[in-house]
């Protein structure tokens, strides 16, 4: 009987998309099992690639617009319309993402999420009233204030003046005026997709945990944390909702808190949303193997990322899961805890990081072929 393999990886961030990775892994499977039944299910967990994964899975389409990047410059970004023709998918990485900035430009004191709000506003104007917002990969720490400003919300200081863009300005926030909020928001449903469950502030909050990767120094982290603390307090006064301690309020530099308080958004696991959209449970039925993966398998993988979601559902079906990654930092015990039968790095030996990222597709194909040969041997079907 032909082998049935389901390919369900996340992207290797900054290296290869989930869709391209699936194509490379497929070639590796077919090199060894030419008659294999291979199903490709590119995944995402709310960050970069969420729009592509959901649009691809549902037969939807992309809508491109020119909006503002985190520093206010024009950038071409897209949101997705799912195959149901009713749901818009916006990911912060498109308009407000870290990859849009050079290393020396990263500064969460001034980075702004306005462009994300422009994408939401465009979709509202087009008549969409159901939204999935992917919160991963942002360059911002402004609590989503920039995006909300694009939707008509005003953020004012003690003198009643509009605050400038960026996370640092929230230190001077005195009042949030929601009277100008786009009326279409009230008639819409917003679902936040993320693998981040951190609170808004404190040692596990947005600024402390994610600020450094966005360019924040220790002093900047302290300022940004204080700014978000004030943001949460003023939001509570404006909306009556105390969202600062809710899981996910710290996602995307506090945008989770801003969106939950002002948009009435519901927070959900990003990988679960994507897996529902691709009918993951149905697609893996009868499979011999599931192959999943991400750029780095480590302790963070255990807490809600794509690989963890795949393993969790696969465990209920008994289908074994193989992990493919660029860097492997999980112990055998951790792999067992996660539910991986085995995991393999695609990098065959010492190799500069840039070269490995450039050759990810080629390396993934070779690794997959080697894994399939091992499986063929174990099945006793070698010539």
Examine the domain organization and report whether 19 and 91 are in the same domain. no
Any idea which residue has 């805890």 for tokens? 337
Tell whether 304 is covered by a domain.
yes
Any idea which residue has 């499979």 for tokens? 287
Examine the domain organization and report whether 125 and 178 are in the same domain. yes
Return the structure tokens found at 201: 């502030």
Examine the domain organization and report whether 237 and 287 are in the same domain. no
What pLDDT sits at residue 178? 95
Here the CATH number for the domain that contains residue 363 is 3.40.50.10350
Tell whether 172 is covered by a domain.
yes
Examine the domain organization and report whether 124 and 36 are in the same domain. no
Tell whether 202 is covered by a domain.
yes
Which residues are bridge partners to 342 per DSSP? 322
Tell whether 85 is covered by a domain.
yes
Return the structure tokens found at 322: 């193989």
First vs last C-alpha separation in the chain:
16
Examine the domain organization and report whether 118 and 256 are in the same domain. yes
What pLDDT sits at residue 15? 87
Domain of residue 291: give its range: 4-43+279-378
Examine the domain organization and report whether 88 and 189 are in the same domain. yes
CA distance 49 to 351: 26
Relative to beta strand 154-156, strand 175-177 is: antiparallel
Examine the domain organization and report whether 338 and 243 are in the same domain. no
Of 271, 290, 317, which residue constitutes the final position of a domain?
271
Domains in the chain: how many in total? 2
What pLDDT sits at residue 48? 85
Return the structure tokens found at 64: 């491109």
Examine the domain organization and report whether 172 and 101 are in the same domain. yes
Count of helix runs (H) and strand runs (E) in the chain: 14, 13
Of 225, 246, 271, which residue constitutes the final position of a domain?
271
Residues of the chain with pLDDT under 50: 383
Tell whether 199 is covered by a domain.
yes
What pLDDT sits at residue 57? 86
Q: What three-state secondary structure class fits 206?
A: helix
What pLDDT sits at residue 109? 98
Pick from 253, 10, 223: nearest CA to 142: 253
Q: Which residues contact residue 246 at a Cβ distance below 8 angstroms, ignoring those fewer than 6 apart? A: 199, 256, 257, 260, 267
CB atoms closer than 10 angstroms to residue 333:
8
Tell whether 36 is covered by a domain.
yes
Residue 84 burial class via C-beta count within 10 angstroms: exposed 0-12, middle 13-18, buried 19 and up: exposed
Tell whether 79 is covered by a domain.
yes
What pLDDT sits at residue 108? 97
Tell whether 383 is covered by a domain.
no
**C-beta of residue 19 within 8 angstroms of C-beta of residue 33:** no
Examine the domain organization and report whether 249 and 308 are in the same domain. no
Here the CATH number for the domain that contains residue 137 is 3.90.1510.10
Examine the domain organization and report whether 184 and 67 are in the same domain. yes
How far is CA 177 from each of CA 115, 127, 156, 194, 249, rounded to the nearest angstrom? 20, 25, 8, 27, 20
What pLDDT sits at residue 383? 44
Examine the domain organization and report whether 182 and 314 are in the same domain. no
What pLDDT sits at residue 301? 84
Of 243, 271, 299, which residue constitutes the final position of a domain?
271
CA distance 367 to 353: 17
Residue 377 burial class via C-beta count within 10 angstroms: exposed 0-12, middle 13-18, buried 19 and up: exposed
Examine the domain organization and report whether 32 and 144 are in the same domain. no
């Amino acid at each position: 009987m032909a082998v049935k393999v389901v390919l369900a990886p996340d992207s290797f961030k900054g290296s290869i998309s989930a869709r391209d990775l699936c194509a490379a892994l497929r070639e590796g499977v077919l090199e060894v099992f030419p008659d294999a039944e291979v199903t490709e299910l590119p995944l995402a967990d709310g960050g970069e690639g969420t729009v592509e994964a959901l649009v691809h899975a549902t037969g939807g389409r992309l809508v491109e617009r020119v909006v503002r990047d985190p520093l206010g410059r024009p950038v071409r970004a897209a949101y997705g319309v799912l195959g149901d023709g009713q749901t818009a998918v916006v990911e912060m990485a498109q308009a407000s993402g870290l990859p849009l900035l050079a290393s020396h430009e990263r500064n969460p004191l001034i980075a702004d999420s306005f462009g994300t709000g422009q994408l939401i506003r465009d979709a509202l104007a087009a008549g969409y009233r159901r939204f999935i917002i992917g919160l991963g990969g942002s360059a911002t720490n402004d609590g989503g204030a920039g995006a909300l400003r694009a939707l008509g919300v005003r953020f004012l200081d003690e003198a009643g003046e509009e605050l400038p863009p960026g996370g640092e300005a929230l230190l001077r926030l005195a009042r949030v005026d929601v009277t100008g909020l786009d009326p279409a928001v009230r008639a819409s449903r917003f679902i936040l997709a993320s693998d981040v469950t951190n609170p808004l502030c404190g040692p596990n909050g947005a600024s402390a945990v994610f600020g450094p990767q966005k360019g924040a120094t220790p002093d900047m982290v302290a300022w940004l944390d204080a700014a978000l603390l004030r943001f949460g307090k003023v939001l509570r006064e404006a909306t009556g909702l105390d969202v600062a301690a809710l899981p996910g309020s710290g996602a995307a530099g506090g945008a989770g808190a801003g969106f939950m308080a002002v948009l009435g958004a519901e927070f959900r696991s990003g990988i679960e949303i994507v897996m529902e959209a691709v009918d993951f449970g149905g697609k893996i039925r009868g499979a011999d193997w599931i192959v999943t993966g991400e750029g780095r398998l480590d302790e963070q993988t255990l807490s809600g990322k794509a690989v963890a979601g795949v393993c969790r559902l696969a465990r209920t079906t008994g289908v074994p899961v193989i992990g493919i990654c660029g860097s492997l930092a999980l112990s055998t015990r951790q792999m067992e805890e996660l539910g991986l039968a085995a995991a393999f790095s695609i990098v065959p030996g010492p190799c500069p990081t840039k070269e490995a990222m450039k050759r990810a597709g080629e390396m993934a194909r070779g690794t997959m072929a080697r894994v399939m040969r091992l499986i063929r041997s174990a099945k006793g079907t070698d010539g």
